[in-house]
Structure 1
């Protein structure tokens, strides 16, 4: 892919502007009002429905995180199964490249964004916490929730799906993002802006320079060049 310099710069500026719209206003301005409203809307239901408590407990259990990996893996597997040997190798290498990009972008975002804040369940008082209502392992709090790393990883996956597998795969991956990222907001382990601002800022600034330049293609080429090929041996009857 040729570098779309003007578009990349525009997306970078949009990412910086999004972050500053949240970071600069006193107490985060209108974003804070939105965060509070969303948290209390979902938190209120914990006192009204036991089934809802169980739903949030299950969807924020570590095992449910494995389900997100399974969902992403199944989407990539669908392309792997339809490909020939060289195509299957390429799908696997794209997965490795995506993992590398996710680690680098996540680490840069965690270290370069000058923010540390606790999740809403640790900020507000007189609220419900799932861990107090059900004594099963679940993630309902974080001492440092910004940016949302879980949402960031899922969005990076969606970006790679769009770049290498097309619009249909991108739409399916966005469904995966909502299903597996939003429960963190519903339970109060993340603010809405941890994802809508934090994760999206990292994506807007970092991902275009990977996917909308020759960089990702070059990494894929280097992986393909240096990773060993697994040769199938034919059995003689």
Structure 2
């Protein structure tokens, strides 16, 4: 199962440097007064473009309200996980278990970086409220569906919307899958899904665009750099493969589960 070609036990200093330069450049642009002004101009236009139609189209409103519910995030997670562990799509059948654990390792790096960056954002007063709380005339889905907000956690506002956590997870999945993508068609599908699933928070006004294309991107790129272009994913996936081998051995004896590529023994 431990295919040494999937993850490398060495540092890729050039790619790591790039994955540190891009986030720092984005952050510098965002902190630059002119850059911040440009972001706000674009984000206000984007918010009105996405949010305003909700007032005149009940069906459109209901679609995005459902997509903004917390349980829908579980549906998205299942879709992304299915594509990750689908044998002979991006990864070979014998690679999907290692790929899964490698992605898990990179995701852990993302969570660690997010924790540190969020503390820095609070300390530096970079946090801001979402557009649904700051722009006059914003359409709040929770005003139309108060029951959904109470029962299913409809996400349409936040007092600390930077960086976009939801977007960072989608972006790290897309970046990770793109690294191993076999062709441009797969890459198109991967990024189309990532961008589509980022839309509900933007339509609802829970996040500004900059929360995603600045905050979400810098977190995801940093995580890819320190998770994949260092030996971390190699060693972490090897560790997880070893400690979970007995569990997968038992799962391999179950009638239906044993057919899954992630459960099958590697060649």
**TM norm. shorter chain > 0.5:** yes
CA distance in 1, matches of 2:135, 2:193: 29
Number of matched residues? 232
2:37 is equivalent to residue 29 of structure 1:
yes
2:106/2:228 contact within 8 Å kept: no
CA distance in 2, matches of 1:80, 1:99: 23
2:165 is equivalent to residue 149 of structure 1:
yes
2:16 is equivalent to residue 16 of structure 1:
no
CA distance in 2, matches of 1:174, 1:103: 21
**What is the correspondence of 1:7-86 to structure 2 with a 5 Å cutoff?**
7-25=15-33, 28-79=36-87, 83-84=93-94
2:211 matched to which residue of 1?
194
CA distance in 2, matches of 1:27, 1:7: 26
Q: How far did residue 160 of structure 1 move?
A: 2.3
Instruction: Identify the match of residue 118 of structure 1 among 129, 135, 149.
Output: 129
1:75/1:169 contact within 8 Å kept: no
Measured on the aligned residues, the alpha-carbon RMSD in Å equals 2.6
Q: Any idea what SS the aligned residue of 1:142 has?
A: coil
1:121/1:189 contact within 8 Å kept: yes
1:130 matched to which residue of 2?
141
Q: How far did residue 105 of structure 1 move?
A: 2.9
CA distance in 1, matches of 2:213, 2:75: 22
Q: Any idea what SS the aligned residue of 2:249 has?
A: coil
CA distance in 2, matches of 1:39, 1:219: 40
Q: How far did residue 180 of structure 1 move?
A: 1.1
User: TM-score normalised to the size of structure 2?
Assistant: 0.77
The one-character-per-residue Cα deviations of 1:110-132 (angstroms, maximum 9, x if unpaired) are 22333211000111223221111
User: TM-score normalised to the size of structure 1?
Assistant: 0.85
CA distance in 1, matches of 2:186, 2:237: 19
1:16/1:205 contact within 8 Å kept: no
2:11 matched to which residue of 1?
3
2:249 matched to which residue of 1?
231
Q: Which moved more, 1:52-61 or 1:203-212?
A: 203-212
- CA shift in 2, pair 1:36/1:59, >3 Å: same
2:229 is equivalent to residue 212 of structure 1:
yes
2:157/2:206 contact within 8 Å kept: yes
CA distance in 2, matches of 1:44, 1:231: 53
2:193 matched to which residue of 1?
176
Structure 1 gaps, min length 5:
none
- CA shift in 2, pair 1:91/1:201, >3 Å: closer
